[in-house]
Chains A and B, each alone.
Chain A
């Protein structure tokens, strides 16, 4: 069974940093691209970043480019999102999803990130 479990969320001040992790299991992790997708309260999903199977190709939404960094460790079956210079508008539920740049066939349960002074 495919499982994606996010961790590392919390409440941070504007300008702070946070690192999200996603532990994957139930499939051959290094066969798949992965993404982070966020959803603000009452809003639709917003793709944040994607990474191909070996980390050689990475993409970011304009809203996070230069502030967020996606990475993966295939040996640990893990996906990461380093979030710097956090803004209030980054407040959302962050999902780890299988798939990089087209469709996302499995999603985690999400982890809440709140940016507030």
Chain B
């Protein structure tokens, strides 16, 4: 079981919007910055969102992040077939003194 909880899968049609949730506790999400990663099949994870809601250079504004209390959400608008991937949330856990990741959410663009 992962410290951060994500839904195993989500799906939506091309052009639609989808959200992926990440739930934790005060020792991780509640008091630390959260990041989101996209992992396309056979590739390394790629940083999509850092510091809860900031996008690295080159990440389109179709991707957004938000945080409230001990939960966070990744939003993706204008879905494309190329967005089909596994998505992971991650943050520092102050109790474990370790970086923790969610179990991952597989996005299917129908």
Contact = CB atoms under 8 A, between A and B. Distances in A.
B101 A95 contact: no
A47 B35 CA distance: 13
Given A35-B99, A95-B44, A102-B91, A45 B37 contact: yes
Q: How large is the interface on A (under 10, 10 to 19, 20 to 34, 35 or more residues)?
A: 20 to 34
A101 B96 contact: no
A47 B44 contact: no
A67 to B, nearest CB: 15
Nearest to B100: A47
Contact of A107 (B33, B45, B86, B98): B45
Interface string B20-53: 0000000000001101010100001111001100
Contacts of B86: 44
5 contacts: A35-B99, A44-B103, A47-B101, A105-B56, A107-B45
Interface of A: 35, 37, 44-47, 50, 59-62, 95, 101-110
